[in-house]
Amino acid sequence: MHARTGLLAAVALPWVVSAALAQTAPAADDRMDQFEKRLNELDQKYQSELKKRDEEIARLKGNLNQRSAATTRDAVDQTKQDVLADIDARTAGPFTMRTPASFNPSIGVVSNFSGNISTLNKNPARNRFDIGSVELDLRAPIAPIADGVVILPIAREVESDLFFTDAEDGGGGIDEGIEIEEAYVFLHDFGVNNLTAKLGRFHLRFGRQNILHEHNWPTTDNNFVNKSFLGEEALTDSGLSLSYVIPPDWVGGQYVELVGEVVTGEGGGETTPVLNNDASVDSPAVNLHALWNTNLNDDWNFELGGSFLAGKHDNSGSQDAFLYGLDATLVRTDPTGGFANSMLMFEGIYGNVDTDDGQTQHAKGFYVLGQQQLNRDWYVGIRGDWTQNAVDDSQEVWAISPYVTWYYFEFLRFRMQYQHKDGDVASEDTLYFQCTFTFGAHPPHPYWAMK
């Protein structure tokens, strides 16, 4: 039974398979056709959508261009409206600041209006008010390694003789004119560490106050010892000044500066009593200055300086002049951050100066100045002077000068000073008044000016 069934199956199988295959081939072809048709439909659909998108992109691009044009038109319209409004406006429009690159120097103008009321009416420099000086201060970098400085005071004053005794001593004429007080190139970087130089005309680094311009003095008049030995306002001269700061590491972190100056020896001419020859190159003067500055503690700063000047006193170059100076300054900074700063200053000079009578004058003198800042605007101080005449050591003069200073602000200052003067001169009591006003750029004061 099983054998017969198996034979039957073997005979039937090929027939069944071939029949089945005959039926399957047409079905697959149909499906392939349907699949192909479907693909074509999808392709057409996507092509259609892509076409629509391209059209949409093109439309949007068009809109964008139209909008940009419209925006530009709006901006132009807005500008037109603004300009039309400006034309009709009665007030000025906002200022547009332009800052071009400028090669002009910083320019400052410092004016000193001063006067005095004195018991010594016969002195022509007393009981008068005048604009003592107008100082033009010009500064600018002139090279990567150098700055230029020019100070041109225009004076209008009556010269005051320190050793005035009677009317014949003072000329009484008004001294007017413009002078070159300083004009130098300051070389701050020429390849030698810690060395700087000035070349031109400048204030000599003798002592402390000689480097100051008149409006920077703490008092209305110059101290007597500087007047007697250096000059009415300051000892200036032409030449070369070198300044070297010893590397702080070598001197325990201290500030030690050495200054050496070679100048013509002319000084300021008639206004400088000791150094006043004819500026021949065969009679130069040499000035040396050394200073040490240190912080005694957080609040107290101390500076000690020594100066030596050697030059000629006359045109022939036969009269020698030697000056020795010592200066000390103590500054206390208000630790609270307020303005109660204090200063005590001393300067003394001793001179050996040959004079026309064949004598050598051994004169000396000094001043002491104490100043207390009360608040941001007010300062009080007192100066005591005693000095001999540098070219006549038989004469001496002394004075006591309390003063008060009020800054309305940095650029407008008023000062009153009383002075009692006596000695081998006509005794006098004088009340000084000073108004200093500044406009334009102005370089910073030295730190000990406390401003």
Residues of this chain that bind other proteins (CB under 8 A): 94-95, 97, 188-189, 193-196, 245, 247-249, 253-255, 257, 291, 293-295, 298, 301, 303, 331, 333-339, 341, 375-377, 408-411, 439, 443-444, 446-448, 450-451
Query: Least distance to other proteins from the beta carbon of 373, Å?
Result: 10
Please give the sequence-ordered ranges of beta strands (E in DSSP) within 29-180, or none if there are none: 106-118, 128-143, 146-158, 174-178
Residue closer to other proteins (CB basis): 135 or 303: 303
Residue closer to other proteins (CB basis): 131 or 146: 146
- DSSP β-ladder status, 360-373 and 342-354: antiparallel
Tokens representing 347 are 């300067």
Tokens representing 442 are 């102005």
Query: Least distance to other proteins from the beta carbon of 377, Å?
Result: 6
Q: How many C-alpha atoms does 167 have within 13 Å on its Cβ side?
A: 2
Tokens representing 372 are 């207390």
Separation between Cα atoms, residue 23 and residue 30, nearest integer Å? 12
Residue closer to other proteins (CB basis): 126 or 451: 451
Query: Least distance to other proteins from the beta carbon of 451, Å?
Result: 8
Residue closer to other proteins (CB basis): 23 or 96: 96
Query: Least distance to other proteins from the beta carbon of 119, Å?
Result: 35
Query: Least distance to other proteins from the beta carbon of 347, Å?
Result: 18
Query: Least distance to other proteins from the beta carbon of 444, Å?
Result: 5
Query: Least distance to other proteins from the beta carbon of 104, Å?
Result: 15
Q: Is 358 left (phi over 0), alpha (psi -120 to 50) or beta?
A: left
Residue closer to other proteins (CB basis): 305 or 365: 305
Query: Least distance to other proteins from the beta carbon of 158, Å?
Result: 31
Phi and psi for 111 in degrees, rounded to 5? -120, 140
CA dist 259 to 57, 183, 399, Å? 81, 19, 32
Residue closer to other proteins (CB basis): 35 or 406: 406
Residue 379: other Cβ atoms inside 10 A = 23
- DSSP structural state of residue 221: S
Separation between Cα atoms, residue 266 and residue 178, nearest integer Å? 18
Residue closer to other proteins (CB basis): 16 or 412: 412
Residue closer to other proteins (CB basis): 165 or 294: 294
Judge contact between 302 and 419, C-beta under 8 A.
no
Largest CA distance in the chain: 174
